[in-house]
Structure 1
Amino acid sequence: MKLLQPCIIAFAMYSKIPMPCIDWNKENMKYAMCFFPLVGAVLGALLYLWAMLTGLLHTGVILRAAICTLLPLLITGGIHLDGFCDTVDALSSRQSTERKLEILSDPHIGAFGVMGCTAYLLLSFALWAELTFTPKVLLILAIGSVLSRSLSGLSVVSFRCAKGSGLLAAFSDGAQKKNVRIVMLIFISMCIAAMAAISPIVGGTTAAAALLVFLYYRVVSYRVFGGITGDLAGWFLCLCELAMLAATVATGGLML
């Protein structure tokens, strides 16, 4: 029962899946981040099932790619894409660190955020349309949804926070960092091992793409913002999943 409440918090925060109302107190938030990858497991399973269904129904490529692009938004409520847009606005502002952090906190979206969002969705749609839909390729991407959230969760309990307030700071401060870090590393190790076991080339390349984006996330966050925020974590997750999709598209044909 003690672990059920942190799980509910994780799904309530990072998904639109209906959850019962509970207190977001310090005790319940200690291990909430441990369950963040499970949101990715649900999303990955739904993407896999949708892709398999389209094969049985002989659905056209456009509809298949459109639903694959939109399904993450339906499940997550766009929380990560919102952070992506805010981060694009901040990075494009060419302002000081303090001003960039203010832009991240601004609830309004700017022109660069709109352009970034449009480009992201368009590129995601194009990549899904180009993907070689096979069970193994889809399974690698489903696992990738867990990997991206495990890496994001690891950053929350490992990277320096740019601000002392906000939801990410609350999750970071309330977490049992050592234990959560161990759980995230276990998730990451299992995901990479599973992806490589399915296909050393495709799975290994896809996992490597995620790790490279994670490194880029760390460098940009510290150099430009002085640490991470919730928006930056969302920006990373979007870039990570786009990079994994691109890597799978580039190498997926090798599994035929």
Structure 2
Amino acid sequence: MRFLKAFVVAFSMYSRIPMPRFTWDSEDMKYHLIFFPWVGAVIGALEYGLLLLKEYCDMPRVAFVALAMAIPLIVTGGFHLDGFMDVEDAINSFKSKEERLEILKDPHIGAFSIINVITVGLLCFAGLFLMNRNSFIGWCFSFFMARSVSGIMVIKGKKAKENGMLYSEAKNSADKAVFVGLIIELLICTCTCLYVAPLHAIELIIFTLAIGKGTEIRANKAFGGITGDVAGYYVVITEVFMALVFGIF
């Protein structure tokens, strides 16, 4: 029952998929990050289903790419994209660390977030448009893998502040069990991708980990550690970057 509740908490927090409602407590959040990557598994499965639909009904490529970009936004409600936009506004403000943290909490959006969200959208569109079938299947695994590494960052990374959503998640999590669970899930995802698309699996694990480390270093310098917005920023950057890499190479 505890793990079932953790599953519901994870999908309620990180997706728009309807879940049973109940009052959460700290016990229910101990293991919820283990199920965070499974939101990515749902997105990846829907992307693969879209690919099969495209092949079955000969869908125009532009429509296929647009729908492929829309699926993550529909499933998550733009949860991670919101974090990406906040981080871009904060970093490009060139203000002090304290002021940057305040910008992350500001509900208003600035010019830099709009500019950069359009930029990553165009890059993602280009990458998807250039992909072949095997590359697209490899990209489907990026949603699960990015969330696995993001969860590990939340557990093990330095926190920028001792309040907020990410701090509560990390504080209430059973660190060792969640960390081991995420590592096992990451390995399973990598092995599965190696079986389905070997070359893309190697690229995916290398770049996913490298982007994760780069994001952590950048966050430590800009904010003094990881925040919930930074974790969302990482997910968006990884998915878009892998789309571009798979599309080009």
Q: Is TM > 0.5 for Structure 1 vs Structure 2?
A: yes
Aligned counterpart, 1:9: 9
1:226 aligned residue (224, 227, 239): 224
Offset, 1:106: 0.6
Instruction: State how far apart, in whole Å, the 2-side matches of 1:27 and 1:40 are.
Output: 24
Q: Residues 177-236 of structure 1: CA distance to partner in whole angstroms, max 9, x if unpaired?
A: 111000111111122222233333222112211111111111101111110001000100
User: Mind listing any 5+ residue stretches in structure 2 that lack a counterpart?
Assistant: none
**Over 4 Å off, 4+ runs:** none
Give the counterpart letter for 1:215 in structure 2: K
Aligned counterpart, 2:137: 139
Instruction: State how far apart, in whole Å, the 2-side matches of 1:229 and 1:29 are.
Output: 18
Aligned counterpart, 2:81: 81
Q: Residues 144-179 of structure 1: CA distance to partner in whole angstroms, max 9, x if unpaired?
A: 211000000111110011011111111111000111
| Contact 1:210–1:243 under 8 Å retained in 2 | no
| Contact 2:128–2:136 under 8 Å retained in 1 | no
2:54 is equivalent to residue 54 of structure 1: yes
TM-score by length of 1: 0.94
Aligned counterpart, 1:110: 110
Offset, 1:113: 0.6
2:195 aligned residue (194, 197, 206): 197
Offset, 1:91: 0.8
Offset, 1:122: 1.7
Give the counterpart letter for 1:33 in structure 2: L
| Contact 1:210–1:240 under 8 Å retained in 2 | yes
Instruction: State how far apart, in whole Å, the 2-side matches of 1:23 and 1:138 are.
Output: 39
Say how many residue pairs are matched.
249
| Contact 1:206–1:248 under 8 Å retained in 2 | no
SS at match of 1:3: helix
| Contact 1:209–1:247 under 8 Å retained in 2 | no
RMSD: 1.1
Aligned residue runs from structure 1 range 1-256, under 5 A: 1-132=1-132, 134=133, 136-251=134-249
Instruction: State how far apart, in whole Å, the 2-side matches of 1:190 and 1:138 are.
Output: 19
Give the counterpart letter for 2:135 in structure 1: V
Q: Residues 9-42 of structure 1: CA distance to partner in whole angstroms, max 9, x if unpaired?
A: 1000000001111122101000010100110010
Instruction: State how far apart, in whole Å, the 2-side matches of 1:244 and 1:125 are.
Output: 12
| Contact 2:31–2:174 under 8 Å retained in 1 | yes
| Contact 1:7–1:32 under 8 Å retained in 2 | yes
SS at match of 2:233: helix
Instruction: State how far apart, in whole Å, the 2-side matches of 1:185 and 1:144 are.
Output: 15
TM-score by length of 2: 0.97
User: Mind listing any 5+ residue stretches in structure 1 that lack a counterpart?
Assistant: 252-256
Aligned counterpart, 1:254: none
Aligned-residue sequence identity (percent) comes to 35
| Contact 1:206–1:247 under 8 Å retained in 2 | no
Instruction: State how far apart, in whole Å, the 2-side matches of 1:61 and 1:102 are.
Output: 42
